[in-house]
Structure 1
Amino acid sequence: MKDTYKHKGLRQQLVTILKGKGITDANVLKAIGNVPRHLFMDSGFLDYAYKDMAFPIAADQTISQPYTVAFQTELLQVKKDDKILEIGTGSGYQAAVLCELGARVYSIERQQELFKKTNLFLPKLGYRAKKLIFGDGYKGLVEEAPFDSIIVTAGAPFVPKPLLSQLKIGGRLVIPVGEHTQVMTLIIRKDTKEFEQHEFGEFRFVPLLEDKN
């Protein structure tokens, strides 16, 4: 598990690419520049680790494109010590970016294989999420609610109601909504029953899996 000067240089090139694509939040760019993405990928893909592309990981899932990670993270407007729920831990890369920003991260993963791997791997890199859970992301994490923000890293056919109810007043939910392609959606909780919705164009995600048991 090495992070060399070459890797650091490639990360800075990636940051430059993300700036060129419109990412402006300096803290988000710094976090992307700090997190060693190559360590989250299978060795066969190391040459692609700092290209702005998604790549396959275990259990038919993907590690998201850096631009998508940066875009979703920017929409969250993360502040230090924010309590954030992530739906879809995956490789752990997005969780690491949130930890890098000083957030208190709670993350749910539906795939047992990925959950076991990431649960061991993130602490080795020094990223300590408050809680990693194996479970159903559609249900959220009611026992730890409310959250400052919630990020969903898989395509959801609809916005799960439990996630809305687990947001603080003023909290932000960032979720890609749609069946085949998804529209990046930001929902801000204005009051107990009032929510404001914004849409930010199309993205492609693997589907959000529901617990069928």
Structure 2
Amino acid sequence: MTRRPGPPAPRFPLALDQVGRGAPASAAREPLRPQRLLREAAQDAARQGTPSGLGLDSALVRQRMVERLRREGIRCEPVFDAMLQVARHAFVDTALAGQAYEDTSLPIGHGQTISKPSVVARMIELLYEGEQARAHGHLGKVLEVGTGCGYQTALLARLGKGVVSIERLRPLFDKASANLAPWRFDAVRLVYGDGMLGHGPNAPFDSIIAAAGGDALPPAWLEQLAVGGRLVAPMHSSRGAGQVLVVVDRHASGWVHTHHEAVHFVPLKSGVL
């Protein structure tokens, strides 16, 4: 005799906190969802309104960097204006972009670094205190020794009437060229060469700035500095206290040297690699 199957047992949804035993649907908790329902996400987005703009491309992060520099004693408004326009994170490796607006130096490869924003701002501020900038409101024709990743070059391009920037390390020269290409600066010339020799074909320069320090300033820099021009560079102190920022003003009667705050830059070297 064939037995007919009985009616199926009642089936109920399982509550999340009960495993192996059924529970009425009314007792079940709201299931956890790895993603919000599209409708709910849209409602939340509408409540939040306009994004706050805290990304690296936001002007707010550059504004905060400038305000910090202002609190630290920098007073050069043209430098601040340039820093607000030039995105520092575009000149560092992607892995370090989150630190781009902190006041810290960052490695750019080949034993070199991008200088701290405070140091960059201070050195350019010193250039602005020279006769050329005070008379004309800009840095004039600029020579930069040590292009690095190109960040300071981009700032100088906005502050002068033309920039010649020299880099002795071929990989960094190539990196700076790639970093600066999107900016399309018409008055920037990058040179792969020995920065200690300056750049005679474009001399004299109204402003000279260097990102490496030695025991003495190369004679070529002094010779290529225009009368009324100013040079800012790190140099070892004669008192044995490490590097300091040295400012040189050229007058018709000669060169005047003054020493400023202590710094720490990579050594100044000749030749190309």
Give the TM-score, by structure 2 length. 0.72
Q: How many angstroms apart in 2 are the aligned matches of 1:116 and 1:58? A: 12
List alignment gaps of at least 5 residues for structure 2.
1-52
Match of 1:130 in 2: 188
Q: Does 1:92 align with 2:150?
A: yes
Local SS of the residue matching 1:6: coil
Superposed CA offset, 1:164-210 (max 9, x none): 0001101101010028931001000012x611111111001111221
Map 1:26-41 onto structure 2 (within 5 A).
26-41=77-92
Does the CA contact (< 8 Å) of 2:88 and 2:101 recur in 1? Answer: yes
Map 1:57-206 onto structure 2 (within 5 A).
57-77=108-128, 78=133, 79-80=137-138, 82-178=140-236, 181-191=242-252, 194-206=254-266
* Runs of 4+ with deviation above 6 angstroms: none
Q: How many angstroms apart in 2 are the aligned matches of 1:81 and 1:24? A: 16
Does the CA contact (< 8 Å) of 1:122 and 1:128 recur in 2? Answer: no
Q: Bigger radius of gyration, 1 or 2?
A: 2
CA distance 1:186–1:81, shift in 2 (3 Å) = closer
Tell me the CA shift for residue 101 of structure 1. 1.9
Does the CA contact (< 8 Å) of 1:107 and 1:132 recur in 2? Answer: yes
Does the CA contact (< 8 Å) of 1:35 and 1:100 recur in 2? Answer: no
Supply the RMSD in Å over aligned alpha carbons. Answer: 1.9
Does the CA contact (< 8 Å) of 2:90 and 2:179 recur in 1? Answer: no
List alignment gaps of at least 5 residues for structure 1.
none
Map 1:1-12 onto structure 2 (within 5 A).
6-7=55-56, 8-12=59-63
Q: How many angstroms apart in 1 are the aligned matches of 2:256 and 2:197? A: 21
Tell me the CA shift for residue 41 of structure 1. 0.4
Matched residue type, 1:74:
E
Give the TM-score, by structure 1 length. 0.92
Does the CA contact (< 8 Å) of 2:193 and 2:272 recur in 1? Answer: no
- Identity of matched residues, %: 39
Matched residue type, 2:140:
D
